[in-house]
Amino acid sequence: MRFKTFAAFVAPSLLMMLLFIAIPLFSVFTQSFYVTQPIFERVEVESCTPGFPNPVCTTRTSSRPKLDENGKTVTETRFVGLQSYRNLIQPDRVRAAVAAGSWSQLMTIDFWRALRFTLFFTLVTLPMVIVLGLTIAMAVNNAVRSIRGPVIFISLLPFIITPIIGGLSIRWLFIGDGIVTRFMEWLTSQNISMFSQAWTLELMMVIYRVWAVAPFAFVIFYAGLQTVNRDTLESAIVDGANRWERLRYVIVPHLMPLIIFVALIHLMDSYRVFEEIIAFSSQSYVISLQWLTYDLLTPDQSGNRAISRASASAMLTMVGIVILLIWPLRRTWREHKGRT
């Protein structure tokens, strides 16, 4: 392929990546080192008590945002270096919590509380998605051909549903007098509140994410199973290998590149968990790094947003994703070099 032809194919993708990934990422990185705040001015305000003919008047000094000629608040941007990262991580409080050996004290810091749940959610759901997806794929692959179509359709339904809608549906089943909650209360003769404790919320989020994402893994693994060498499988059967041994020594090694691919996609997606936090309204008990960034960008009562800290949170989230992807990327690189 000539270079001009190659460039014509690649240039649009590179341009889109530059406009929608590289430039915004650089902007977020830059904003994490600057703080934009309104400029306040001191003004004297006179207030008088009602009275005639001698009202009592007092003068007090107060601060208010300075306005320009268009009535907009005047702001100033200044370089603060790593201060936004320090405000987010709060190293002084971390050292105090570590010195006291207090886990609960550390969990009072929003960033570390969000990081704990994000890592827990990501690392727990990953093996469950892979195992469940592979189990469904093998079950469908071994099913009678006449029922494969309906089974595949039913298996893909959770993946078709919009995440926020699926999360809200699960919430409505369990919250208050939801159908499932009412049935559990009738079965146990006890009042049950699934949304009043952190561990029950986390359990429901994990179950929902596995239910919603496993179909994606199923599709990938099912396609991979169609390429398994039948001669190798038959040879393993002739040699006396049972189902588990065929799975371990023939099928899983063949599907390993696809397993790594599913792991990469799931790690990037789960580390940015957000829909479950919103759908389950778990902000009082459980938060994630992505939700923390969103919360910092939400205007407060004065209309101000912590853009610098939100940018720092976004950059730290990206660093966490990169760290999690090191192992699968290294494994993929080794396999690629081994084949070449």
pLDDT in tens, 149-159: 888 888 888 87
Residue 304 lies inside a defined structural domain of this protein: yes
Using the CB atoms, write b or e for 289-328: b if 16+ within 10 Å: bbbbbbbbeeeeeeeeebbbbbbbbbbbbbebbeebbeeb
For residue 192, pLDDT over 80 is answered with no
At 2-49, the pLDDT tens digits run 777 777 888 888 888 888 888 988 999 999 999 887 777 777 777 777
At 104-139, the pLDDT tens digits run 889 999 999 999 999 999 999 999 999 999 999 998
Domain extent, residue 163, equals 104-339
Percent of the chain with pLDDT over 70: 96
For residue 148, pLDDT over 90 is answered with no
pLDDT-derived band at 52 (thresholds 50, 70, 90) equals low
Q: Which pLDDT score is estimated for 147?
A: 81
Residue 243 lies inside a defined structural domain of this protein: yes
Residue 167 lies inside a defined structural domain of this protein: yes
Q: Which pLDDT score is estimated for 168?
A: 81
Residue 32 lies inside a defined structural domain of this protein: no
Tokens representing residue 155 in the block: 């298996």
Q: Which pLDDT score is estimated for 131?
A: 94
Q: Which pLDDT score is estimated for 125?
A: 95
For residue 222, pLDDT over 80 is answered with yes
At 57-87, the pLDDT tens digits run 777 777 777 777 777 777 788 888 899 999 9
Q: What angle do CA 210, 262, 165 make, to 5 degrees?
A: 40
pTM for the whole structure: 0.83
Residue 89 lies inside a defined structural domain of this protein: no
Q: Which pLDDT score is estimated for 124?
A: 95
For residue 195, pLDDT over 80 is answered with no
Residue 3 lies inside a defined structural domain of this protein: no
Q: What's the total number of domains in the chain? A: 1
Using the CB atoms, write b or e for 28-64: b if 16+ within 10 Å: beebbbebeeeeeeeeeeeeeeeeeeeeeeeeeeeee
Q: What is the domain-level CATH number for residue 242?
A: 1.10.3720.10
